[in-house]
Structure 1
């Protein structure tokens, strides 16, 4: 049995003393108390024989408390300053005490260090001790928070950004640590949506929301949430995010800054990502390090080396040793997607009664409010402006083409593209705010998509040729109208031999004179002795 605490000893002995004063103390009662405390009967009799400890009666003054804060929670420093001030000194150990403290301690009773330590331990709370020693973060770590009431699925989604401590090689540029934006369902702990990017922005928030509202391989989450609980990040408060939430009828609750307890499930999810996934991958920057600070293992996260990884990858045709460079961006995204699927469908959560988040979601009978994909496609994707080049739309080192041929004849035109930051399999193209088509990487088009594109190109060529033929016919008709309007009524109309062949009844009059009136020479002069020519 563990040794009894001071409080238990004091309570037991006080009860025995009271019984002794009342004449009711017996050996049996002392033996019972000894058995309850787990000590010998002799120890109890010894405590009864000793006089009760005299209380010092010392209480902390406001000056003592202020000095405790000023000296960073160092009770020994408070005692030195207090003792020095009582003898009229204004400094101690080379540091000034402060006029306010000297004045506050004037006339106070001297006290030894141990008594002062007991007083601070008894009168200050752990949060007050932590606030004096480590500041507000330490104080909040000692606070007790109430749990939120249980909710149903899609009632509240919590959203947060996290800079992942893992070294990844992006499509271009130096190796870096990516950012993830995740939304988690408050009731079921299901990761509803996520997006990975070099830096968080409004597009990543919209993409993560879209993923959560549409059925996805990562889990059963779908439907529109009733509320979004977000922090004060500018990306979350962006106009595009607020406009999309307003259009979908979603309430947005922006939390006060530096209050992680207000979105505790998101904070716990961030730790789960680091503990369950990142710590098992090479390039984890939160892992062990050498004596000189270098990251232990095959990779180095120092700035100079990070830039070297990117420069080596940018060399055309370079063959990098995969064991000596960080994971490629696409590889890491695939690993993260697999982890999300595992977390949602296989990870047993103690807060869900031993169920997985997917099982908790499926067991919740709350009806879902869904929105068609074409609506979410317009509202919840990152967007940028791009110019259509002669070979397609260039974006993120890929060239995108349109199998349907909607951008076939739009070279040089500016369009808006909507995309998922971590998924380069498609681009939605918008023109003047209206959906135009969906483009795919040219080098990833299937044979059917390529044939669809060529068929669209042939159809466009035939349509252009038909337009040219129709324009030519309209031009000939306009010329004929202009010619007939300028000829005298009795004058014979000159026709070509081809027209004469089509209309045998028309006489063809060969031209035998040349007019030079347009040159300012004079009237037309007959050309005698010159054979007839067809002009």
Structure 2
């Protein structure tokens, strides 16, 4: 015996005019326009209805509802059982369960399966339109969570909290991105550069930026922080200071012991964002989008769908200058639509004194100076294939010392003994020059390639005389190779 869902008709109270939807309000006003001549000008209702092309009985019903409920009474009445399905609750739950089960099923597939089950259970067989309506009524958030997982549900439907630091330099955000741009490296080869940015959470002002080639590293991060913290040479870019909090992701450079030591010494906290949730770093991510959409299309070598729109011609220093000009001349001085003022004005605020290190030298020692243990020899200190000397080292021969060096300039090193500064040792071979670690690595690579080329030439020369893999070309007959003996196979009796 077929079961049917019980439906209770509920009289819906007439809504007030202020709560009507726009289309219902327009309908009510149209009907009121039919009644207005009768209500305001005492024209007989029959004539007013005739002039409007409305049946008299309909006009009388509208007039009664208007006098009872006002303008809202002229709107279309909503049925009390609107939205109530007549299908059995068990059947509706089964249809929804099939829709939520992986893999996703189409309405046609659900209709085919439900027809058989409904016949077995004695339920009324629903039509395709009924099943389609039930599937369409399922909450999209529920469908997303069921079929695409928690990450997709979180990105689309979970509420977010928009946080803004209360004062400048309270929170800084730092992150890296690879740019949609090709530049030329030192060898003239096209390559995609990276960009590290440090942005103030309160004002959206850019505090530091670092363009580089190669994967992100602690050195590049340190250089970006150095620029962000210390005063800039350009007075039009006054953003500086030590933040209270540095908000970063879980990159190896941000989780390094070196950055922990920097934070402890400069007295700021490092807070890591939740893994796989870039929304927490929304401000710096939005900045990357702004650079990719506004600055990079104006530069040669801009990539569109992975292909350069114009031939690359910029060097790394050219790119760094272009980014700096955009920050100083456009981004920091343009009104931000969310904070409704320029980032520079928001950072200045009512005037405050940013917290700074005692000197740039102290900041360099902390951020960009790498430490290495060494022993003072009779001719000085050996490091990276160079010899560094200073008169002060004469009293520390055979003593263990710690050297600190800037990878951007290896022409000098700083020597410490028991954490006490001794001197700046100079490489006499490169005195007065700026020699970077990359220069040394490039020279080593070039020397290795030169040696490899020499080896290949010598090997090729040998092959001219021994083309058959080292066999002699002389006319001496080669002795015949002895034929292997065939062993006699023995069998035991009874085999």
Same structural fold, with TM-score higher than 0.5 when normalized by the shorter chain: yes
Closer/same/farther in 2, CA of residues 295 and 363 from structure 1, 3 Å limit: same
- Residue aligned with 1:158, SS: strand
Asked if the contact 1:217/1:341 (under 8 Å) is kept, the reply is no
Q: What is residue 446 of structure 2 aligned with on the other side?
A: none
Mapping for residues 326-475 of structure 1, pairs under 5 Å: 326-343=313-330, 345-355=332-342, 357-372=343-358, 373-381=360-368, 383=370, 416-419=404-407, 429-432=413-416, 436-437=423-424
Q: Distance in 1 between matches of 2:430 and 2:415?
A: 21
Say if 1:79 and 1:120 are closer, same or farther in 2 by CA, change over 3 A: closer
Unmatched 5+ stretches in structure 2: 1-18, 32-59, 435-495
CA spacing shift, 1:82–1:374, aligned 2, 3 Å: same
Task: Tell me what 1:210 maps to.
Answer: 226
1:111 and 2:130 correspond: no
CA displacement at 1:185 relative to structure 2 = 0.7
Distance 1:195 1:297, change over 3 A: closer
Residue 271 (structure 1) aligns with = 289
What is the rounded CA distance, in whole Å, between the counterparts of 1:428 and 1:443 in structure 2? 8
Matched with 2:114 is: 86
What is the CA distance between 1:360 and its match in structure 2?
1.6
- Residue 153 in structure 1 maps to residue 168 in structure 2: yes
Quote the residue 2:201 is aligned against: 186
State the distance in 1 between where 2:315 and 2:176 align: 21
Q: Aligned pair in 2 of structure 1 residues 138, 108: CA closer, same or farther (>3 Å)?
A: farther
In the aligned structure 1, how far is the partner of 2:321 from the partner of 2:431? Answer: 20
CA distance, structure 2, for counterparts of residue 50 and residue 156 of structure 1? 55
TM-score by length of 1: 0.55
CA contact (8 A) 1:86 1:107 kept: no
Given that residues 344 and 358 in structure 1 are in contact (C-alpha distance below 8 angstroms), is that contact kept between their aligned partners in structure 2? no
1:56-92 CA-to-partner distances (Å, cap 9, x unmatched) read: 35675276246335244xxxx342332232355xxxx
User: Contact 2:411 / 2:432 at 8 angstroms: preserved in 1?
Assistant: no
Contact 2:115 2:126 in 1 (8 A): no
Do the aligned partners of residues 202 and 79 (structure 1) sit closer, same or farther apart at CA in structure 2, a change above 3 Å counting? same
TM-score (norm 2): 0.59
Distance 1:416 1:10, change over 3 A: same
The 8 Å contact of residues 212 and 221 in structure 1, kept in 2 or not, is answered as yes
- Which 5+ residue runs of structure 1 have no aligned equivalent? 35-43, 89-101, 300-324, 447-535
CA pair 167-131 structure 1, distance change in 2 beyond 3 A: farther
Distance (Å, rounded) in 2 between the aligned partners of 1:175 and 1:414: 39
SS of equivalent to 1:347? coil
- Aligned residue in 1 for 2:245: 227
Alignment of 1:282-321 (within 5 A): 282-285=300-303, 287=304, 295=307, 297-299=309-311
